[in-house]
């Protein structure tokens, strides 16, 4: 059983690195292991913005985005324990689902900005 996030950098970013507490803006797609897409900011036509913290994103994103640089694109394989665990999320994500994300980091704002 996979218990850690697997990270693949598809495009290395050149800008500011994401860190705990930073305000990030990203586009992403999320899939179940069978290839079913359950979410996409591209489909909504609007990037996702959040603070990178353990309370705001799933643990797999919190771990997998730290150190990623603006302009980068990263693929994350997130085991269920670091995603939603035993919780079912809506009609799209069954309980105990391993998730795959492709994330494009558009902007990082830190407390120093």
Catalytic residues: 28, 38-39, 58, 84, 101
Which residues are CB-neighbours of 2 under 8 A, at least 6 positions away? 77, 79, 98
Which residues are CB-neighbours of 104 under 8 A, at least 6 positions away? 11, 26, 27, 28, 72, 73
Please count the other Cβ atoms lying within 10 Å of the Cβ belonging to residue 111. 8
Where helices occur in 1-113 by DSSP H, the ranges are 41-44, 59-65
């Amino acid at each position: 059983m996979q218990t850690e996030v697997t990270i693949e950098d598809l495009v290395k970013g050149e800008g500011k690195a994401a860190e705990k507490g930073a305000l990030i803006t990203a586009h992403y797609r999320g899939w179940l292991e069978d290839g079913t897409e359950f979410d996409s900011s591209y489909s909504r036509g609007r990037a996702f913005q959040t603070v990178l913290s353990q309370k705001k994103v799933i643990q797999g994103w919190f771990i997998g985005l730290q150190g990623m640089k603006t302009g980068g694109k990263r693929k994350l394989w997130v085991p269920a324990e670091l995603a939603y665990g035993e919780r079912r999320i809506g009609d799209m994500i069954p309980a105990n689902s391993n998730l795959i994300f492709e994330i494009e980091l558009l902007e990082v704002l830190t407390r120093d900005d």
